[in-house]
Chain A
Amino acid sequence: MRLGGRWTLLVVWLVLLAGVGVFVVQHLRVSTDLRSFMPAPTTPDQRLLMEQVGEGPGSRLLLLAIAGKTDQQLAALSQQLTASLRKDERYSQVLNGSFDIASLDEALLPYRYLLSPTLDTHALDAPYLRDELEQRLEDLSSPAAGLLKGLLPRDPTLEVLKLAERWTPPKSPEVREGVWFSAQGEALLLVQTRAAGFDPDAQTLAIDGIRQAFDALPDHAGAKLIVSGPGYFSVVANAQTRGQAEWIGRVSTVGFILLLLLAYRSISSLLLSALPIASAALAGIAALVLLFPQVHGITLAFGFTLLGVAQEYPIRVLSHRRAGENALQSVRDLWPLLLIAIASACIAYLAFYASGVNGLKQLAVFTITGLLVAGFSTRYALPHLLPERVHDVAGMGWLVRARRWVDALPRPRWIPVLVAIATVLMLVFARGAFWQNDLAALTPLPRDLLQEDARLREALGAPDVRYLLVLEARDEQGVLALSERLEPAVQALLATHAVDAIELPSRYLPSETVQRARQQRLPDRPTLERALSDAQQGMPFQAGLFAPFVDDVQKARELPPLTEERFATSPLGQRIAAMLVSRGDHWVGLGTLSGVHDVAALQSLAQGSGGSVRLLDLKETAESMVVAYRTRILHALLAATLLLVVAITLALRSIRRAWHVLAPMTLATFLVLAVERVAGVEVSLFHLVALILAAGLGLHYALFFERDTGDAAEQRRTLHATLVCVLSALLVFGMLAWSSIPVLRAIGLTVSLGVAFHFCLSILMAPHARQD
């Protein structure tokens, strides 16, 4: 191509890239909800699990501890922080152990007679009032007098305190200086965020809000604020993943550039060979933007890593340039093989698409688009831009020696057999579980953070994150009534210590039926006034002292029953809102459990209900999801393998040649699996994904080594290209293997091992070398 034409092509290409770039920048919406990397739920339990994981009351709970000062100072900080956070829209509930009557707001105060169970066993008649008033006299002469004096005229039966007692978390921590304290002497707080637990961006805002509020307190200097909980973990995990991915990305990019400069000694070749990759990345993102409303941040991070495969295409072209031959000619010679390589990589990535996980689907779309664009631009655009005169790598002395050494390697036929036997033995004798089913094992969190969380959770008596009682009924009232019917059985379970505490929705909000029944038992004004005056006979209370009480009871008689919707407007009502969930055609109530000792007893409680009550084991459900998800991936893989065998056999038009390509690839794949198993690695989904990626790379090596050109110089070029590819893959994935994040490490380690094994086996099992 003429020089002018070459420049025109370059400019057109760059303008095109810029155009796609602008489109992407304008339309790309990155999401950070980690749930898109979890398998899609299929059963109702799994759907509930996913909701709970992201939005359930447990996942939105942050546990706070303030340490480093005297009890008194910490208690003051705890009170000030609570006051400041309660004013903030971002938090639906802030608890620090001090009961605040204000949390049941003024307008809802008369509801205490409908919410408290007192009226179920007593009527507000003269004998009951007499007994209560006698107790109040005792209270007034006791140290608690100052505490109750203000309440007395409005609430002589102390209904507010009875409710407060009923609503304190069942296993609450020690109260010192009026607030919760841990055994380690930290002031403890519970904060519920409005943001979903697994939305790291929203959680970052919520946690920053807490830190800012804390830093704004006048006496915070010297005190330390510890934050824990699922929301905090998602923030840490997100920051860590992002931080490490960026760091690793930078180091491997620099290494990669150095490697290419060393290999081809041409800056222009290097810059030009970046064009197909840049096009691939931009086209991949553009495809995501067009197909999905939001693109996950992790898709982008992993996607760029996986596109590393596409770097092979320009590398092959550069290495196979012959002195004096025009680039187009070199590409034409390589294209059939490159096309097989591209097609087989796309087939392998199709397995991601079949996984049913939204994040992996996006990953598949991104990589397949990217690979196609990289491949076709390498074939049809890049060769026109490459410089005419090139440095033929085939003449390099070290390469000649290396090829001679490689060719001289002994290739006894028993090597593959031996490797196969060793692989089988390693797989058979590896200890420990084969599959990693625990989603939590992939959580990239330092152990001490998890231990601290467990400690705070225990100290705060925060509900178990594993078990939930699920109550189902047609409507909200049905759920509440079901919850009320369950209460006696729950009390029995508590008595036998099957579980330390169970919180049911009806504990906070009785059903309308129960509220109406209590309302009916409230006396009218004359009756109550008469009963009160009878009760007060001979007591020193001043006449008319209890008028506010009589007024409240009259108000309570007229009130419409309290609903979840009305209750949710007050701070305390947020608790009940989190326990009642509308699921379209029916309602679900969630009962939280603390300190589960006897799962079987809880299960029999559920079985006795005829299906309306279930014990949801979040861990087991999560594992069942992982198993189902893995089965799907394994099926997809099997299908992809068959497709691959057919595609390669057809492409090479020879079963024997296909065997030479596929045998080393298959053997190396199982060898990686065997080595990891012997090293004690439990195989997770991410290992499987990485095995596919490595197999895709291995296929390239095997394809090119298998190619019999009968030309020693061409064989040297093949070795050169493969070495550059292997080194660049080892560079990128070897870096990932050092990551402290289990997911990145799983991918890095597996691909690095894979690349090494695939390279060695495809050299040792290359057919024509043996014939030499």
Chain B
Amino acid sequence: MLSLCANASAPEEAATARALVASLGRPAPARTPFAEARFMKMLDQPLVVTGELAWLGGDRLERRVDHPNHEVSTIADGEVSQQREGREPRRFSLKRAPQLQILLDSFVAMLGGDATRLEQAFAIQYSGTDAKRWTLILTPRDPKLVRTVSRIEIEGAGNEPHCMRMQEADGDLAVDLLGDLAAKMPAAPTREALAVLCRGG
């Protein structure tokens, strides 16, 4: 299977990737439930949150967390504002949160069906296991970004992304289950269990 995609000619692969990204596009505002597990070196167990991701059109993205705490983060005009129940909102520049910049670049390009934008921000590697299942591996082109986030893997089927894995340069990993798959997040996830979920879900 792997050898098959490795043998695929580059232009053909790029064309398929473009067609795929174009097929992922949907009109704003587009919302999808998500469940995220973060594996971090400084923590013994992963952190799990669930909520909803929404593309509001343009470069505006909203990440709403419903569990375990309520929190809404919005990205707009290069600024992130973070609102948490009972606390002062926190605001900071997108510049200082490279992970968010990458999330924005990849998410907005995908939901906008904008292959050109995706190609501008990332080197894209496409592999399709069969007609329906696919994986996109995105490597940030910006040398500064790639120092914090080494790559993103998006797995999906048809025109639905299922899974987004953000591999950070320091070894930390964030896995987001999207759409219907979000409901299947285990209470105590492991990297392996999530990999299986993404592949088979």
Contacts and interface: CB of A to CB of B under 8 A. Distances in A.
A186 to B, nearest CB: 15
Interface stretch (B7-15, B76-84, B112-120, B193-201): B76-84
A545 B48 CA distance: 20
Contacts of B49: 141
A441 interface: no
B80 A541 contact: no
A179 B42 CA distance: 31
A142 B42 CA distance: 15
Q: Most B CB atoms within 10 A — which of A140, A141, A144, A152?
A: A141
Interface string A132-167: 000001101111111101001100000000000000
A142 B73 contact: yes
Interface string B54-95: 000000000101000101010101111010100000111111
Interface residues of A, number: 26
A77 to B, nearest CB: 14
B65 A144 contact: no
A146 B97 contact: yes
A628 to B, nearest CB: 50
A178 interface: yes
B173 interface: no
Given A152-B42, A540-B43, A143 B77 contact: no
B73 A143 contact: yes
A669 B183 CA distance: 95
Contacts of A72: 78
Contacts of A145: 38, 99
B194 to A, nearest CB: 15
Given A152-B42, A542-B42, A143 B80 contact: yes
A179 B90 CA distance: 16
A36 interface: no
B97 A147 contact: yes
Given A178-B96, A541-B43, A143 B38 contact: no
Given A147-B92, A176-B78, A140 B43 contact: yes
Given A175-B93, A178-B96, A140 B73 contact: no
Interface centre among A72, A153, A540 (most CB of B within 10 A): A540
Contacts of B75: 143
Contacts of B99: 143, 145-146
B91 A140 contact: no
Interface residues of B, number: 38
B44 interface: yes
A75 interface: yes
Given A142-B73, A146-B97, A545 B47 contact: no
A577 B49 CA distance: 47
A177 B79 CA distance: 7
A487 B94 CA distance: 35
A552 interface: no
A71 interface: yes
A177 B41 CA distance: 29
Interface in A97-151: 98, 137-138, 140-147, 149
Given A98-B93, A176-B78, A140 B47 contact: yes
Contacts of A177: 78, 93-95
Given A141-B47, A152-B42, A153-B42, A146 B148 contact: yes
Contacts of B189: none
Given A149-B42, A541-B44, 17 more contacts: A98-B93, A137-B47, A138-B84, A140-B40, A140-B43, A141-B47, A142-B71, A143-B75, A143-B97, A145-B99, A146-B97, A147-B92, A175-B79, A177-B78, A178-B94, A541-B43, A542-B43
9 contacts: A71-B78, A75-B95, A141-B65, A142-B71, A144-B82, A145-B99, A149-B42, A178-B96, A541-B44
Question: Top 5 closest A-B pairs, CB basis?
Answer: A178-B93, A178-B95, A540-B45, A540-B43, A141-B47
